[in-house]
């Protein structure tokens, strides 16, 4: 289903290694056990490794072996190192002073002009986020990805301020990459592959440098912060001026994902380096499914980023629409779901009687303007019949007992001249970048086509492509592939957090890499359309850059809060945002989080819910992680677990009413405590407004918050009372704090669920 836009993922997944008894390990060490004699953690790590090898080898060679086996000595992200070890050596290492725990290095998968305008960012809005932040000027966005194609116009530094003095990063030289390729836009370029190479010693790297040979990193980084490029388009579709969300921000690329594979040891090293270099925002469009917070390298590494005041945007994953399918559910990052934009790509079928029918299409070629015969072939399941029809005809297929997938495949095999698919499906995104001329029409238009064919003695038609319609009122909708909550790694915090554009996003592409969506005909372009939560994540990273510029004193949690409490929950029809994965039913907070990001509103949210590292530690304690497990996340040997609490000061609410209890008709009560900080006007009064939630008693005390000063903090309590078993499975609602001047609505989603966590997820 999702195969078109996941083609890149597959090349990572299919990457296999020859079995060997050695492996890469990420080793957590207790830095308080480091003897004072060592000048740095690295020398301590080397000495620790040396003593492991000392048993088996001559002393003179152990130091050499140690430095060869040490992949990275980490400093910020975790306290410890990664090394290539045999299982025997690992066992020996476990007896070393300061050893806490270790995990095996793991392969990782990546989760691809118009979107800033769709988000309400434009030149001439006097008060918008672009204006107030000066397009994100001076902010540094670090991107951990497949590298960058520095020649792309999106990295032109025209109009970009000079490199901030605090910047400690570098533009590393390598194959087809030297420092002169960086400029005031692309200010950093580093690459990390020691883990990949240790796991695969015989590997030949296609490009041993930060240069992108995949396209993904060029696309995500230019989505976040690409400069303005006029005349961008995808074969005539989506024409216009392309730009990133924060077009004047600086970009630093950390290449840790390779065409040949990707490993967590390299990703941790990349994030470690980004923290040292001084990025302000990190965009991480990758993730690992099924790991606990203390073992998930992205969760570990991003905790350190949060402590260093770096905002981290991550992708929820492309494993939807199933509950519990998301990754990157750590409470200290922003977890981003993918939505559609209002941009629709069309083709037009003009029948011999002059009647035109418009449908969905993304065919890149041209079609002959002369009319050719059109035939109706029912469900298009008889291949021989299609072969007979192929040369001179436009073949019309209608969905029925034969699925659209099967029809699509048959038409592809038959190599028809042109095809019309009559379908009810609302989830066409993965089909439409066709290799053959094809238009997808709805059943109503299908009737028009069928009755023309049936009534004409010599039915004919022609097709036109490359039409772009910017008026799809059902936008934004949640995509079906976007991974869903709850977060199995931290179930008490509602995830995902927010939705951003992820479908068919136009952004820069390496000009010598075959376009991914359709790659058979050897076409190269400097812009490409890609889909996935990978594409949604850099949008929010760009918004974070704008907010950070406008509010330099805001913490990462404050920025996240501003995004979430001002998100839109309605589409352009003013109805609730729909979920393509569930037949256009309203998307719930467990699917899209707080809603569609709205950067202009996020600039001035009124109130914020702030969280700091102490609060996250209290949460980890309440999640029953052991002392050592918490230490692997925080690096600190002393974590105060005297007041554990699952009740994080988060701008959303998720309550579990356990249906497994025998007395399922008894009532249960859950309380949430929150503290909001006034970042709006000095004197302001907010009143709580709750949506009705069927079968539940919900109350807020106090129901009025009266602020007398800026940055004043006030607390409230939300109490939810209801039956142990929620008949509907999950009930949703919203708590909004509305200020008396009607300027601010600070909105939080509420979900009350009977979901049993151990029965969901992959
Ligand atoms: C090995 O490293 C240790 C500590 O780093 C050092 O004291 C020792 O001299 C080194 N040995 C050799 C043979 O280089
Ligand atoms: C912001 O808007 C004001 C008023 O329209 C304008 O004078 C100013 O130049 C704008 N700033 C930017 C960075 O666009
Ligand atoms: C890649 O380049 C770095 C220096 O830029 C070099 O140290 C390393 O050996 C190279 N690795 C491979 C596999 O070519
Ligand atoms: C860097 O590479 C560019 C293009 O490949 C080349 O023109 C330039 O001379 C190189 N600069 C240095 C300092 O090597
Ligand atoms: C398609 O038509 C456009 C103009 O209508 C032309 O510029 C373009 O070269 C054509 N493409 C192909 C592949 O023939
Ligand atoms: C689909 O299959 C059902 C049951 O096999 C059959 O009754 C029905 O006529 C079929 N529909 C079409 C359009 O072929
Ligand atoms: C499909 O048909 C066209 C012309 O009808 C031909 O040029 C092309 O080679 C065919 N492709 C395949 C894969 O058979
Ligand atoms: C074609 O028309 C005939 C008679 O008008 C009708 O019986 C038949 O169902 C029609 N077929 C289609 C595919 O619309
Ligand atoms: C976090 O905030 C609490 C008050 O809400 C404060 O007591 C604590 O010291 C803060 N922790 C850090 C690391 O700033
Ligand atoms: C943690 O352990 C305590 C005591 O065993 C238990 O009551 C609580 O439900 C556990 N919490 C979680 C989140 O599993
Ligand atoms: C709950 O159900 C049990 C048996 O189904 C019944 O005996 C009891 O009265 C019910 N309690 C309430 C509060 O409705
Ligand atoms: C309060 O919420 C209701 C919906 O539950 C909404 O109709 C109403 O407009 C809200 N009031 C304010 C002041 O936002």
Q: Is 328 helix (H, G, I), strand (E, B) or coil?
A: coil
Q: Closest residue (by CA) to atom 3 of ligand 6?
A: 401
**Structure tokens of 118?**
């769709």
CA of 197, nearest ligand number:
3
Give 112-155 pLDDT, tens digit per residue.
433 445 555 555 445 678 888 888 999 999 999 999 999 999 99
CA of 137 to the centre of ligand 2 (A): 14
Q: What is the rounded average pLDDT of the residues 152-179?
A: 96
Distance, in Å, from the CA atom of 229 to the CA atom of 151, rounded to the nearest integer, reads 13
Distance, in Å, from the CA atom of 664 to the CA atom of 454, rounded to the nearest integer, reads 60
Would you place residue 524 in the very low, low, confident or very high pLDDT band (cuts 50, 70, 90)? low
Distance, in Å, from the CA atom of 518 to the CA atom of 434, rounded to the nearest integer, reads 7
Instruction: Find the distance separating the first CA and the last CA of the chain, reported in whole Å.
Output: 17
- What is the predicted pLDDT for the residue at 531? 86
Counting atoms of ligand 2 from 1, which one is nearest the CA of 134?
13
Task: Examine the residue annotation and report whether 534 is marked as an active-site residue of this protein.
Answer: yes
- Please name the helix (run of DSSP H) or strand (run of DSSP E) that holds residue 298, with its range, or none: helix 297-307
Phi, psi of 23 (to 5 degrees): -155, 170
Q: What is the CA radius of gyration of the chain?
A: 27
Task: Examine the residue annotation and report whether 145 is marked as an active-site residue of this protein.
Answer: yes
Burial class (CB in 10 A: 0-12, 13-18, 19+), 558: buried
Would you place residue 521 in the very low, low, confident or very high pLDDT band (cuts 50, 70, 90)? very low
The catalytic position among 216, 219, 539, 551 is 216
DSSP result, 74-103: ESSS-SEEEEEEEHHHHHHHTTSTTEEEEE
CA of 480 to the centre of ligand 12 (A): 30
Distance, in Å, from the CA atom of 415 to the CA atom of 393, rounded to the nearest integer, reads 11
Closest CA relative to residue 496, chosen from 245, 735, 327: 327
CA of 64 to the centre of ligand 8 (A): 83
Least confident of 34-38, 190-194, 540-544, 616-620: 34-38
Q: What is the DSSP letter of 228?
A: P
Task: Examine the residue annotation and report whether 758 is marked as an active-site residue of this protein.
Answer: no
Closest CA relative to residue 260, chosen from 211, 206, 336, 325: 206
- What is the predicted pLDDT for the residue at 520? 39
- CB of residue 636 inside a 6 A radius of ligand 3: no
Do you find a cis peptide bond into 138, omega within 30 degrees of 0?
A: no
pTM: 0.89
Angle at 124 between CA 120 and CA 129, to 5 degrees: 45
What is the chain's mean pLDDT, rounded? 88
DSSP result, 533-565: HHHHHHHHHHHHHHHHHH-TT--HHHHHHHHHH
Cβ-Cβ contacts under 8 Å for 684 (sequence gap 6 or more) = 606, 678, 706, 707, 739, 740, 741, 744
**Structure tokens of 460?**
């004919």
Distance, in Å, from the CA atom of 71 to the CA atom of 301, rounded to the nearest integer, reads 16
Q: Probe ligand 2: pick from 130, 131, 243, max atoms within 8 Å of CB?
A: 131
- What is the predicted pLDDT for the residue at 63? 63
- What is the predicted pLDDT for the residue at 470? 81
CA of 671 to the centre of ligand 11 (A): 24
Dihedral sign from CA coordinates of 660, 662, 664, 670: negative
Distance, in Å, from the CA atom of 87 to the CA atom of 91, rounded to the nearest integer, reads 6
Do you find a cis peptide bond into 321, omega within 30 degrees of 0?
A: yes
**Structure tokens of 684?**
């302001």
Closest CA relative to residue 485, chosen from 755, 112, 109: 755
- What is the predicted pLDDT for the residue at 665? 65
**Structure tokens of 81?**
């190192």
- What is the predicted pLDDT for the residue at 13? 29
Distance, in Å, from the CA atom of 689 to the CA atom of 523, rounded to the nearest integer, reads 54
Dihedral sign from CA coordinates of 503, 470, 511, 336: negative
Q: Is 500 helix (H, G, I), strand (E, B) or coil?
A: strand
């Amino acid at each position: 289903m999702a195969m078109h836009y996941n083609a890149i993922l597959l090349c990572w997944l299919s990457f296999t290694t020859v079995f060997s008894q050695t492996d890469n390990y990420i080793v957590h060490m207790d830095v308080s056990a480091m003897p004072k004699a060592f000048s740095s953690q690295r020398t301590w790590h080397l000495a620790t490794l040396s003593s492991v090898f000392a048993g088996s080898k001559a002393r003179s060679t152990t130091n050499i072996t140690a430095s060869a086996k040490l992949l990275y000595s980490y400093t910020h992200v975790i306290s410890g190192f990664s090394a290539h070890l045999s299982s025997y050596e690992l066992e020996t290492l476990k007896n070393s002073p300061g050893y806490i725990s270790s995990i095996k290095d793991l392969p990782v998968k990546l989760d691809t002009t118009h979107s800033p305008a769709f988000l309400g960012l434009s030149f001439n809005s006097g008060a918008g986020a672009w204006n107030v932040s000066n397009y994100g000027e001076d902010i540094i966005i670090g991107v951990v990805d497949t590298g960058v194609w520095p020649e792309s116009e999106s990295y032109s530094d025209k109009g970009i301020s000079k490199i901030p003095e605090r910047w400690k990063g570098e533009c590393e030289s390598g194959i087809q990459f030297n420092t002169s390729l960086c400029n005031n836009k692309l200010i950093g370029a580093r690459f990390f592959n020691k883990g990949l190479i240790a796991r695969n010693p015989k590997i030949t790297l296609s490009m041993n440098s930060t240069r992108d040979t995949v396209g993904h990193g060029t696309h995500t980084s230019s989505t976040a912060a690409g400069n303005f490029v006029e005349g961008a388009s995808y074969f005539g579709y989506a024409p216009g001026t392309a730009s990133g969300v924060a077009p004047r921000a600086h970009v630093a690329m950390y290449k840790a994902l390779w065409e040949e594979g990707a490993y967590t040891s390299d990703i941790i090293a990349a994030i470690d380096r980004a923290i040292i270099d001084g990025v302000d925002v990190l965009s991480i469009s990758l993730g690992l499914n099924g790991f606990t917070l203390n073992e998930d390298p992205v969760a570990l590494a991003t905790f350190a980023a949060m402590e260093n005041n770096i905002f981290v945007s991550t992708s929820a994953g492309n494993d939807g629409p199933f509950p519990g399918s998301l990754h990157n559910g750590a409470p200290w990052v922003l977890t981003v779901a993918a939505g559609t934009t209002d941009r629709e790509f069309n083709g037009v079928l003009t029948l011999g009687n002059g009647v035109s029918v418009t449908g969905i299409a993304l065919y890149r070629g041209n079609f002959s303007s002369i009319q050719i015969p059109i035939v109706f072939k029912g469900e298009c399941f008889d291949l021989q019949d299609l072969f007979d029809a192929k040369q001179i005809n436009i073949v019309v297929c209608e969905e029925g007992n034969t699925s659209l997938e099967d029809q699509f495949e048959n038409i592809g095999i038959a190599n028809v001249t042109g095809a019309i698919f009559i379908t009810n499906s609302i989830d066409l995104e993965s089909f439409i970048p066709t290799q053959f001329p094809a238009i997808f029409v709805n059943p109503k238009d299908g009737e028009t086509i069928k009755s023309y064919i049936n009534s004409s003695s010599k039915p004919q038609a022609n097709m036109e492509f490359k039409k772009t319609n910017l008026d799809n009122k059902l936008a934004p909708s949640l995509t079906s592939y976007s991974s869903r909550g709850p977060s199995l790694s931290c179930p008490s915090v509602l995830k995902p957090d927010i939705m951003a554009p992820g479908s068919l996003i136009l952004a820069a592409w390496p000009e010598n890499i075959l376009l991914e969506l359709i790659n058979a005909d050897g076409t190269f372009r400097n812009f490409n359309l890609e889909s996935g939560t990978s594409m949604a994540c850099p949008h929010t990273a760009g918004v974070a850059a704008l907010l950070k510029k406008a509010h330099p004193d805001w913490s990462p949690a404050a920025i996240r809060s501003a995004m979430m409490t001002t998100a839109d929950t309605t589409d352009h029809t003013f109805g609730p945002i729909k979920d393509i994965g569930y037949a256009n039913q309203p998307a719930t907070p467990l699917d899209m989080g707080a809603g569609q990001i709205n950067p202009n509103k996020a600039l001035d949210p009124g109130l914020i819910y702030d969280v700091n590292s102490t609060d996250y530690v209290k949460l980890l304690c309440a999640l029953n992680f052991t002392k050592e497990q918490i230490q692997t996340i925080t690096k600190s040997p002393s974590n105060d677990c005297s007041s554990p609490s699952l009740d994080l000061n988060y701008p959303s609410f998720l309550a579990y009413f356990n249906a497994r209890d025998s007395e399922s008709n008894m009532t249960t009560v859950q309380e949430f405590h929150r503290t909001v900080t006034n970042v709006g006007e000095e004197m302001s009064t907010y009143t709580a407004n709750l949506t009705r939630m069927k079968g539940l008693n919900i109350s807020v005390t106090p129901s009025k918050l009266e602020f007398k000063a800026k940055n004043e903090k006030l607390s409230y309590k939300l109490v939810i009372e209801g039956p142990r078993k929620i008949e509907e499975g999950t009930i949703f609602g919203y708590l909004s704090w509305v200020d008396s001047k009607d300027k601010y609505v600070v909105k939080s989603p509420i979900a009350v669920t009977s979901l049993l966590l151990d029965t969901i997820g992959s």
